[in-house]
Every structure is written in structure tokens, then in C-alpha cells.
């Protein structure tokens, strides 16, 4: 097998102008023949959508399950983590950017069929498998087949979702609806200023950013990316940070997580 596979995509349709539109994530990429989506791993080839990373992992790692972070799910057990190249997100703080944004697909990929992943989890004593490092939505066909192979061997599959249903994915249940009401993890982005910036300047910046977020065209673009436009005052933002420090502090300590230099 060479470095790139062309597995038939399951979620797409043809547009009147001959392009194909990917229906998998809110990006709705519309592709000409040979073009790739923003995630880079989905491509129009031969008039259809293909996934170029099926059965190709960017690497494996055995983690404590608390690092996912799960606190009451097989506590103390190991979880086999894996992902693929590519991502549909563009987070500036991504710690896996060299994989998620790489274009050198061959170098990054090891062959790993869904069955091989399930077999490896059993062999390595892992109770579960995590789809991580990049957004598993972009390799949904691979992730779902891997989850089925794992379930057949009594291994659980773990992926990340949110507290509320996304407007963009109304059929996907929230964590509470899936039976985990105590799980409340959400991502936010904020803008920080050095501590010595005068309050008047901070207030002025906050006003400008709030106006930008309230702009209907900006809000529409954020919604299309499944991001809920928010906005908070500096005081409210500080409370959010303090709350998250308290919420995740125990998990970080339990998992013995350390910053890498």
C-alpha cells in the first residue's frame, strides 16, 4: 500500500456545476476535480469524494484515561490514542499542528486497519481507544469502522463532543443526552493583554472586539464553523478562567500531567 488511500467518502453530493460538496462538517467544502478540502484529507477524485487517510494513522500513544480527560470512566486504566493527518479546524494553539496541518502525508502515516487498532488495544491491555490529535469528524468512515471493530472485542471507543447539540449537527446527541450529564467541557477562545495595559485601553479593546463579534457577517461565519459567538467583559472572562482552573485542576493532578518544554 502506498502512503495515500482513496477510500470512498460516505457524506457528499454533486452540485449542478459538477463540483462535489462535502456534507461531513460545517465547512461544506465545494471541490473541483483534484481539489482537497480544508482538512486536506478529503478530495474530489474521479467525480466522487474520497478519504485519503483511511487505515492510515499519524501515530499511537498509550495514555492514562484521565488525560482524555475522563475522571469516572474506567479510572486508572490505559487508553490507546490515535489520530490521522489533517484537520478541519485551524486553532492557533494546536499542540499537534505539525500533524494536523502537514501536507507531507506519506511521512506521517502508518498502516493501521480498524481491526489492527482493536487488536493492538487488546494486546496492550487498553480498555478503550481514543480518536484524538485531530478532529475525528474528518476521518469518520475510518473512526466508525475502528469503533465497530473495538466494540466487537469489548473495547470502548472515546471521542469528544459538547454539552449542547450543535445547530450544525442537530442529529448528534450531546454528552448529557448520551447519558453523561456531569461532563461539561467546552472550548473557548479569548484575547489576553499584558497585565500592565491600562484599564482604559483594555476597555476600549473590549468594546471593539465586542462590536466585531456582534457584526452579523462575523457571527454568520463563526456559526458556519460551529463556533457560538460569545463575548464577555474582562471580569466575566476572569471568572470563566478561574472556574476552569478549579474544574480541571484535580484532573490534571490525578493524571500527573506536566508541561513539556
x/- site string to ligand SF4, residues 54 to 93, per CB under 6 A?
Answer: ----------------------------------x-----
User: Does the footprint of ligand SF4 cover residue 134 (CB under 6 A)?
Assistant: no
| 28 binds ligand SF4 per the rule CB under 6 A | yes
Beta carbons within 8 Å of 141's beta carbon, 6+ residues apart = 7, 9, 10, 51, 54
Least gap, CB of 79 to ligand SF4 (angstroms) = 25
Interatomic CA distance for residues 187 and 16, integer angstroms: 37
138 is a site residue for ligand SF4 (CB under 6 A): yes
Q: Name residues contacting ligand SF4, limited to 87-126 (CB under 6 A).
A: 88
Write the DSSP string, 44-96: EETTEEEETTTTEESEEEEEEGGGTT-SSSSTT-EEEEEE-S--S---TT-TT
Stretch that binds ligand SF4, among 24-32, 193-201, 218-226, 240-248 (CB under 6 A): 24-32
Radius of gyration of the chain (CA): 20
Nearer to ligand SF4, 66 or 135 (CB): 135
> With left for phi above 0 and alpha for psi between -120 and 50, is residue 59 left, alpha or beta?
left
Residues 31-50: x where in contact with ligand SF4 by CB under 6 A, - otherwise, as a string: ------xxx--x--------
The Cα–Cα gap between 94 and 96 comes to: 5
Task: Evaluate whether 141 touches 54 at the Cβ level (below 8 Å).
Answer: yes
When CB distances to ligand SF4 are compared, the closest residue is: 37
What residue ranges bind ligand SF4 (CB under 6 A)?
22, 24-25, 27-29, 37-39, 42, 88, 138
Amino acid at each position: 500500500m502506498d502512503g495515500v488511500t482513496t477510500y470512498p467518502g460516505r457524506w457528499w453530493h454533486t452540485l449542478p456545476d459538477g463540483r462535489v460538496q462535502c456534507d461531513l462538517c460545517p465547512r461544506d467544502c465545494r471541490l473541483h476535480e483534484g481539489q482537497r478540502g480544508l482538512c486536506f484529507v478529503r478530495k474530489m477524485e474521479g467525480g466522487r469524494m474520497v478519504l485519503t487517510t483511511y487505515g492510515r494513522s499519524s501515530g499511537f500513544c498509550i495514555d492514562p484515561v484521565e488525560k482524555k480527560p475522563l475522571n469516572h470512566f474506567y479510572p486508572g486504566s490505559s487508553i490507546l490514542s490515535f489520530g490521522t493527518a489533517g484537520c478541519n479546524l485551524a486553532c492557533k494553539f494546536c499542540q499537534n499542528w505539525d500533524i494536523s496541518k502537514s501536507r507531507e502525508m506519506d511521512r506521517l502515516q502508518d498502516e493501521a486497519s480498524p481491526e489492527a487498532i482493536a487488536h493492538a488495544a487488546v494486546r496492550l491491555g487498553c480498555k478503550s481507544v481514543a480518536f484524538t490529535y485531530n478532529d475525528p469528524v474528518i476521518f469518520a468512515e475510518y473512526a466508525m469502522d475502528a469503533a465497530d471493530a473495538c466494540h466487537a472485542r469489548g473495547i470502548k471507543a472515546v471521542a469528544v463532543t459538547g454539552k449542547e447539540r450543535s445547530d450544525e449537527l442537530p442529529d448528534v446527541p450531546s454528552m448529557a443526552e448520551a447519558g453523561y450529564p456531569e461532563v461539561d467541557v467546552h472550548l473557548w477562545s479569548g484575547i489576553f493583554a499584558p497585565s500592565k495595559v491600562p484599564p482604559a485601553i483594555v476597555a476600549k479593546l473590549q468594546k471593539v472586539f465586542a462590536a466585531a463579534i456582534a457584526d452579523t457577517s462575523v457571527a454568520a461565519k463563526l456559526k458556519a464553523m460551529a463556533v457560538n459567538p460569545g463575548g464577555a467583559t474582562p471580569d466575566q472572562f476572569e471568572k470563566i478562567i478561574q472556574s476552569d482552573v478549579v474544574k480541571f485542576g484535580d484532573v490534571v493532578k490525578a493524571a500527573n500531567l506536566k508541561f513539556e518544554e
